[in-house]
Amino acid sequence: MKTIALAGNPNSGKTTLFNAVTGSTAHVGNWPGVTVDKKTGLYKKEEEPITLVDLPGIYSLSPYTDEEVISRNFLLEEKPDCIINIVDVTNLERNLYLTLQLMEIDIPIVCALNMSDVLAKEGKEFDLKKLEEILNIPVVMVSALKENNIEELMHRAYQACQSKRKARSCLKGTSISHLIGDVTIAFEALKVDYPLFHAIKLIENDELELKDHSNLVSIIDNFKMTFNDNVLGNDLEAVIADERYKYITSFSKKLIIAQKKEENTEFLNSTIKTKSDKVDKVLTHKFFGIPIFIAILFVIFHLTFSEDLFFLNALGLVDITSFAGTPYEGLFANGGISSIGVIFTNLFNNTFDLITSSIANGMNSANVNPVVTGLVCDGIITGVFSVFGFLPQILLLFLCFSILEDSGYMARVAFILDRIMQKFGVTGRAFLPMIMGFGCSIPAMINTRTLADDKEKIATIRVIPFFSCGAKLPILSAVSGALVSKWGIGNADLITLLFYAVGMITAMISLIILRSSTLKGEKQPFMMELPNYHMPRFKSLMLHLWDKAKHFIKKACTIILLSNVIVWVLIHFSPTWTYLEDAMINESILAVLSKMVQPLFTPLGFGSQLKGFGWVFVSASIAGLIAKENIVGLFAVLAAVISSADPDLMSDIGSVGVLIENTGATFPALFAFIMFNMTTIPCFAACATARGELKKGTFKWTILFWLVTSYIVGTICFVSLTVLWTIPIFIAVIAAVLVLLYLYRIDKISFRKKESK
């Protein structure tokens, strides 16, 4: 069994090649930094099976981010039998910079010149033989996308696995080759593997190297002393980088040859180039860039969630009453023409309702025990289906984002938003997962893989739930509707928007606090190349969607199913395990447990101060952990029981109204209730995702963070809205905290600067 590692710059096509070779479906995106962990796959067309390892992209072997450390450590410690170095021919110089460093490790290398299809399209030829001569390693022209020449590449790599290769550096013969020689000998004496590589990295002042081999630094210092500093300068790192680039440019221009006859394509090409530049001029424009992005986002969300497509109904352009009485009424028209996402959701839900009710009827007529019927229909089937119901909208959202991502646009968005996001301690890349959080936290958390910095990733995962997800929307609109009808406060849409806004403000403040306290990191410079625009590929879009759907369905059928059963039991049994009818809900285990913790919520307004049914708010929050839709559902059931009305006749707003009447909940308490639920621990499915994405040990702190934040936010909302004059005090306290943190950070940075001097 041989092991071959794929190494190359971000976005050079490693994962595409990996998928083509191993038949896997790893995520490919036109967006540097998609592969954040190494992935392995098998190739069996040679005499021996080959393990292929897809590594995160790197620009050099002096690691800058955690994912780059993964790549470097793999090469140095796992010692693959061969490295396939993928070089994007359309970015030859920059890619060869890495090649030169890989060649300093004593491992056989095969250079795969990728994107040959682009070169061919541009009517250019590449002088393979010349590059092979210069580098003295095998070079193969491939197109990972078109799957050209892949077997040839693997065959050459397999042959290379059988051989040995002595490390070689392009720095030989330069002003520092003498120093490199000395340090290499020192490393050889220590019997370190890959002495040449370590020697050069140490001279480059590489952080990891300084840590591991600090005893050898004196050789370099002695060397510097014996030479006049003016000859070399003090910054050997810069000298080395400079020599490498000089070396590359000495031959790179001659490698790509435009074919003579094809002047026309050359011309065509330059027009295409300028076209793409023109597009970028608009899309990444200083002022228009952000509004354009917001407009695109709006269209996507509108197509996914809107019940009044293009506002045709609000504008009075369609007459939806014509649907009345037809079978399409619920499907296409609910206060307007439904968007694609809503139509699919309705289709799903109608089908699920049909299935559920026919199963319930069947069980009833077969005289099955009502406890069993209740458990199966209300506990299991409804619970799982209510989650499946979100699938169409989530997939649609994902499809749109995948298209934006694969076309290359998302990289631009990260770029235009970086300036703003840096103020909150994260890079522009963190914006996409946050925005996705409005749809569903699960895909949003998965998307944080594109963040290179670990602490930035943790911080982002923590604030994602504060971007209120689709499942929270029903309870937001129910409560704001009730507020309007009960107290005549303002406008329901505005109140809903206010809920969203408070969530986002909480997210931003949390980011600042996290990034300057427990998750403090160096300010990350934002480095991302802008990939070329290209048509999204249908196959990879579909694979991507299928992956997401699979993940989601699995969750619904396991963790969500289990927790639904548990809640159902808690609602329908008393602590002495007697089965309770709906009317007895006040004595259920859930009620008893909720009443026990209810006093804790007194500062938030829905604790001890409420009357007999006050515990419903606590239990709704608990049920919300399973799925946030449960909150409205539980309200409806409880309100129906309290007012002994038919739950099906009770509108959502009405049920909140009944609860207000029977519990004495106030407007500030309801506001605090919503904000608590928005910022507290998200649903179990999202928690499971967070746990998978976070490193071990950080998950429990994340849970604690959510609890503490939601408690503080809820308390602030309740107190400040109850006693209005406290609002300035809260604002002052928050501002003071932020200013102190800011000063603290500045202090640290200037301190560090002094230290490095």
The string of DSSP letters for 85-104 reads: EEEEGGGHHHHHHHHHHHTT
C-beta of 283 vs 391, nearer to ligand GDP: 283
Alpha-carbon span 280 to 683, nearest angstrom: 39
Q: Kindly state the smallest distance separating residue 299's Cβ from ligand GDP, in Å.
A: 23
The CB density around residue 708, as the number of other CB atoms within 10 Å, is 12
E-assigned strand segments in 199-296: 256-258
Break the chain down into helix, strand, coil percent, rounded to 5.
65, 5, 25
Q: Residue 709: how many CB atoms within 10 A of its CB?
A: 23
Least distance to Mg ion from the beta carbon of 481, Å? 46
Q: Three-class SS of residue 649?
A: helix
> Closer CB to ligand GDP, residue 58 or residue 623?
58
In degrees, rounded to 5, the angle at the alpha carbon of residue 549 between the alpha carbons of residues 544 and 551 is 95
With binding defined as CB under 5 A, does residue 480 bind Mg ion?
Answer: no
Q: Closer to ligand GDP at the Cβ: 115 or 637? A: 115
Give the residue among 689, 702, 673, 623 at the shortest CA–CA distance from 463.
702
Which residue lies nearer to ligand GDP by CB, 11 or 386? 11
Q: What is the C-alpha separation between 183 and 202, in angstroms, rounded? A: 9
C-alpha pair distances (Å), 447 with each of 55, 432, 441, 637, 698: 18, 8, 10, 36, 18
- Shortest Å distance, C-beta 227 to ligand GDP: 40
Pairing of strands 50-54, 124-126: unpaired
Specify the stretch interacting with Mg ion by CB under 5 A; choose among 6-14, 150-158, 238-246, 473-481: 6-14
Q: Which does 30 bind (CB under 5 to 8 A by kind): ligand GDP, Mg ion, none?
A: ligand GDP
- Report the amino acid identity of residue 567: V
Residue among 14 and 472 whose Cβ is closer to ligand GDP: 14
Binding partner of residue 10 among Mg ion, ligand GDP, none, CB under 5 to 8 Å per kind? ligand GDP
Residue 12 site contact among ligand GDP, Mg ion, none (CB < 5 to 8 Å, cut-off depends on kind): ligand GDP
549 binds, among Mg ion, ligand GDP, none (CB under 5 to 8 A by kind): none
11 binds, among Mg ion, ligand GDP, none (CB under 5 to 8 A by kind): ligand GDP
Nearer to ligand GDP, 19 or 679 (CB): 19
Q: Which residues pair with 66 in a beta bridge?
A: none
Query: In 10 A of CB 313, how many CB atoms?
Result: 18
Q: Judge contact between 55 and 62, C-beta under 8 A.
A: no
Sheet holding 50-54, edge to edge: 39-43, 50-54, 2-8, 82-88, 109-114, 139-141
Helix axes 92-102, 236-255, angle to 10 degrees: 120
Helical H runs in 423-489? 431-436, 441-447, 454-463, 473-487
Residue 206 contacts which entry, ligand GDP, Mg ion, none (Cβ below 5-8 A, type-dependent): none
Residues 11-50 that bind Mg ion (CB under 5 A): 14-15, 34-35
CA distance 411 to 526: 11
Secondary structure class of 47 (helix, strand, coil): coil
Min CB(6)–Mg ion separation in Å: 9
Within its chain, how far is the Cα of 456 from the centroid? 11
Compute the distance between CA of residue 181 and CA of residue 188 in angstroms, rounded to an integer.
10
Identify which of residues 21 and 445 has a Cβ nearer to ligand GDP in the complex: 21
Among residues 167, 203, 401, the alpha carbon closest in space to that of 296 is found at: 401
Answer with the entry of Mg ion, ligand GDP, none that 144 interacts with (C-beta below 5 to 8 A by kind).
ligand GDP
- Whether residue 628 contacts residue 473, with contact meaning beta carbons closer than 8 Å, is answered with no
Q: How far is the CB of 528 from ligand GDP (least distance, A)?
A: 12
**Of 13 and 336, CB closest to ligand GDP:** 13
- Structure-token pair, residue 618: 């606590």
The type of residue at 191 is K
Task: Name the minimum Å distance from CB 25 to ligand GDP.
Answer: 12
Dihedral, 336, 337, 341, 347 alpha carbons, nearest 10: 100
Q: What's the min distance (Å) between Cβ of 35 and ligand GDP?
A: 5
User: What residues make contact with ligand GDP under the rule CB under 6 A?
Assistant: 8, 10-16, 28-30, 34-35, 57, 114-115, 117-118, 143-145, 406
Residue 459 C-beta: closest distance to Mg ion, Å: 24
Measured CA to CA in angstroms, residue 587 lies from 575, 598, 664 at distances of: 8, 15, 20
Q: Which two tokens stand for residue 420?
A: 């703003």
CB of 98 to ligand GDP, least distance (A): 12
Nearer to ligand GDP (CB atom), residue 95 or residue 349: 95
Q: Least distance in Å: CB of 28 to Mg ion?
A: 7
From the CB of 692, what's the least distance to ligand GDP, in Å?
21
Measured from the CB of residue 404, what is the shortest distance to ligand GDP in angstroms? 12
Pick what 180 binds: Mg ion, ligand GDP, none; C-beta below 5 to 8 Å, kind-dependent: none
Question: What is the nearest approach in angstroms of Mg ion to the Cβ of residue 15?
Answer: 3
Q: What are phi and psi of 217, to 5 degrees?
A: -60, -30
Q: Which is nearer to ligand GDP, 121 or 246 (CB)?
A: 121
- Nearer to Mg ion (CB atom), residue 15 or residue 101: 15
Residue 377 or 404: which CB sits closer to Mg ion? Answer: 404
How far is CA 28 from its chain centroid?
14
Minimum separation from the CB atom of position 293 to ligand GDP (A):
20
Between CA 82 and CA 103 the distance in angstroms is: 11
Q: Name the minimum Å distance from CB 406 to ligand GDP.
A: 6
- Return the number of the residue (40 or 136) whose C-beta is nearest ligand GDP: 40
**Chain residue whose CB lies nearest Mg ion:** 35
Tokens 């609002």, located at residue: 727
Closest distance of CB 14 from ligand GDP, Å: 3
Residue 465 touches which of Mg ion, ligand GDP, none (CB < 5 to 8 A by kind)? none
For residue 570, give Cα distances in angstroms to 179, 591, 659, 682: 74, 8, 21, 20
Which residue in the shown chain puts its C-beta closest to ligand GDP? Answer: 13
Q: CB nearer to Mg ion: give 28 or 604.
A: 28
d(CA 101, CA 72): 11
Query: Nearest distance from residue 28's CB to ligand GDP, in Å?
Result: 4
- In this complex, which beta carbon is closest to ligand GDP, that of residue 224 or of residue 449? 449
Could you tell me how many residues of this chain bind Mg ion (CB under 5 A)?
4
Contact set for Mg ion, span 272-331 (CB under 5 A): none
Q: Which residues of 260-286 are buried (b: 16+ CB within 10 A; e: fewer)?
A: eeeeebeeebeeeeeeeeeebeebbee
Give me the helices (H) in 517-588, please: 538-555, 561-572
For residues 8 and 428, which CB has a smaller minimum distance to ligand GDP in the complex? 8
Nearer to ligand GDP, 54 or 629 (CB): 54
Q: Which does 115 bind (CB under 5 to 8 A by kind): Mg ion, ligand GDP, none?
A: ligand GDP
> 460 contacts which partner out of ligand GDP, Mg ion, none, CB within 5 to 8 A by kind?
none
User: Which of ligand GDP, Mg ion, none binds 663 (CB below 5-8 Å, type-dependent)?
Assistant: none
Using CB under 5 A, list all residues that contact Mg ion. Answer: 14-15, 34-35
